[in-house]
Amino acid sequence: MKKETFALIDCNNFYAACERVFNPELICKPIGILSNNDGIIVALSNELKQLGIYRGTPGFKIKDQIKKYDIKMFSSNYTLYGDMSARVMKTLSQFTPDIEIYSIDEAFLSLSGFEYLNFKDYGRKIKDTVWKWTGLPVSIGIGPTKTLAKVANRFAKKHKYTGGVFDISGHPDTEKILEWIDVEHIWGVGRQYAKMLRRNGIENALQLSRTPDKWVQKKMTIVGLRTAKELRGISCIDLETDIDPKKEIVCSKSFGTPVTELQHLKEATASYCVRAVEKLREEHQVASQIMVFLTTNRFKNDPQYANYANSRLSVPSAYTPDFLKAAHNVLKRIYRSGYNYKKVGVMICDIIHQSKAPLDIFEPTYLDDHRKVIMDCMDEINGKMGSNKLTYAAVGTEQPWQMKREILTPGYTTNWHHIPVVHAR
């Protein structure tokens, strides 16, 4: 059996930590990050958790505590978090060619072939480098399987003495550690399976690893069996390093306040459409279909309506005006007046790489056309001057439908005008 080693790197309280990097006043303060439209708390710093506040708590419900404990609340600044995430991943890729970006703040690294190294020291070096280069704290778990690397990561996070880095491979206390991991916290075991396991008296990772294969496969399919084997140290889940090219691109957001006017819906649709086609070009792709959807708020006691429809382009394109025209036609078809709309969005599908676009007798392909020249030029200007510096009249100027983000921090790393200023005395 080939011996493998994986490391799981996970940023600690990622969103709160990103806010802290640029505002040292927040160090050691309880921080909460709100969802879109400043609704519920989606991310917390440890200090806020210690006050007994949970993920999912509506922001308005803790008004008194915010004052009493000086809790700092923020709108989610996804531009900042996305950019900081890219910096972390870039830093990690210095340490191994084999990296799987697992989520915005987590990555698996393969350390197979690095056996001559002391993994704990190497992990510490990774941790220190990420801290030095990005200002973000991470925890690192190392193990012979991805599932055990996850376990080790949890252990590193919970036990201060590890210094945030823990290698479980061949550790004399492996069994004790597995016993300490509740089934709910095993990577890949969903809530329903966790309940089923508990009903059958299996409460922790050690017990699951000792359960007969036949039973596990019968109750949890081959996927569950893989997890059980991984807990025993047999690597069954490979690193996924090739990222599939996107099959579809969705851009949509809930409105800050309900929208009724077609004109405002048109602006919002245009704005999401612009972003979606930008993403398409970032991946050097073209697409030939766009879908538009809209919906009212099903949690309100208002008349309800939701609908969607598609439109096809004559040839695959990445030229924004092609999609804007199609999207507006679709929207006009599905819009009904008299409703309070909560959300509108676009989905771009039938995506292929630019170079694979089929030829057409009557029209040039996007790649050989002036449309590509115009789009490249726009992307370059916006890349240099800041996003949406150059945009389309269709997105509107006032944008009263924009998401509510009343306590948004600056785009410290993505906007020239928001770069922090340091004063020295």
Q: Is 405 helix (H, G, I), strand (E, B) or coil?
A: coil
Is the CB of 6 or the CB of 14 nearer to Mg ion? Answer: 14
Contact 412, 22 (CB under 8 A): yes
Quote the least distance from Cβ 262 to Mg ion, whole Å.
Answer: 42
**Closest CB to Mg ion among 150 and 372?**
150
Closer Cβ to Mg ion, 11 or 126, answer by number: 11
For Mg ion (CB under 5 A), the number of binding residues is 4
Q: Which is nearer to Mg ion, 8 or 183 (CB)?
A: 8
Are 266 and 394 spatial neighbours (Cβ–Cβ below 8 Å)?
yes
Please name which of 33, 36, 35, 34 lies closest in space to residue 252, comparing C-alpha atoms: 36
Nearer to Mg ion, 157 or 219 (CB): 157
Nearer to Mg ion, 159 or 389 (CB): 159
Contacts 24+ apart (CB under 8 A), 156-165: 157/10, 157/12, 163/124, 164/12, 164/127, 164/137, 164/138, 164/139, 164/140, 165/120, 165/123, 165/124, 165/127, 165/139, 165/140
Task: Kindly state the smallest distance separating residue 17's Cβ from Mg ion, in Å.
Answer: 9
Q: Dihedrals φ, ψ of 226, to 5°?
A: -60, -45
Q: 135, 30, 146, 152: which is closest to 91 by C-alpha?
A: 135
Report the SS3 class of residue 110.
strand
User: Please, what is the minimum distance in Å from the beta carbon of residue 274 to Mg ion?
Assistant: 31
Q: Kindly identify the residues of this chain, within the stretch 113-142, that bind Mg ion according to CB under 5 A.
A: none
All residues at 6 or more sequence positions from 58 whose CB lies less than 8 Å from its CB, including other chains: 39, 40, 41
344 strand-pairing partners? 253, 294
**Of 6-14, 94-102, 191-199, 317-325, which segment contacts Mg ion by CB under 5 A?**
6-14
Instruction: Establish if 101 lies at the interface with Mg ion (CB under 5 A).
Output: no
Cα R_g (the chain), whole angstroms: 25
CB of 139 to Mg ion, least distance (A): 8
The SS3 call for residue 346 is: strand
**Residue 46 or 314 having the CB closest to Mg ion:** 46
Question: Which stretch, 2-10, 140-148, 385-393, 401-409, contacts Mg ion (CB under 5 A)?
Answer: 2-10
Looking at 3-11, 217-225, 302-310, 315-323, which segment touches Mg ion (CB under 5 A)?
3-11
Considering the complex, state which of residue 7 and residue 11 has its C-beta at the smaller distance from Mg ion. Answer: 11
Stretch that binds Mg ion, among 101-109, 209-217, 278-286, 350-358 (CB under 5 A): 101-109
**Token digits for 60?**
């308005």
State how far the Cα of 241 lies from the Cα of 101, in Å rounded to an integer: 8
Q: How far is the CB of 105 from Mg ion (least distance, A)?
A: 4
Our CB check for Mg ion shows the closer of 11 and 26 to be 11
Minimum CB–partner distance for residue 150 and Mg ion (Å): 12
Nearest approach in angstroms of CB 93 to Mg ion is 18
Minimum separation from the CB atom of position 104 to Mg ion (A): 9
- Point out which span in 103-111, 119-127, 141-149, 296-304 binds Mg ion (CB under 5 A): 103-111
Q: Which amino acid is at 414?
A: T
- Adjacency order of strands within the sheet including 72-75: 41-44, 31-34, 72-75
Of 7-15, 72-80, 158-166, 329-337, the window that binds Mg ion (rule: CB under 5 A) is: 7-15
Which residues within the stretch 8-37 sit at the binding site for Mg ion (CB under 5 A)?
10-11, 14
Instruction: Report DSSP state, residue 417.
Output: G
Sign of the C-alpha dihedral computed for residues 316, 319, 322 and 324 taken in this order: positive
* Least CB distance to Mg ion at residue 22 (A): 19
Q: How many CB atoms lie within 10 A of CB 338?
A: 8
> Nearest approach, Cβ of 11 to Mg ion (angstroms)?
5
- Indicate which single residue of 4, 105, 230, 267 sits in contact with Mg ion (rule: CB under 5 A): 105
Which residue ranges make up the site for Mg ion (CB under 5 A)? 10-11, 14, 105
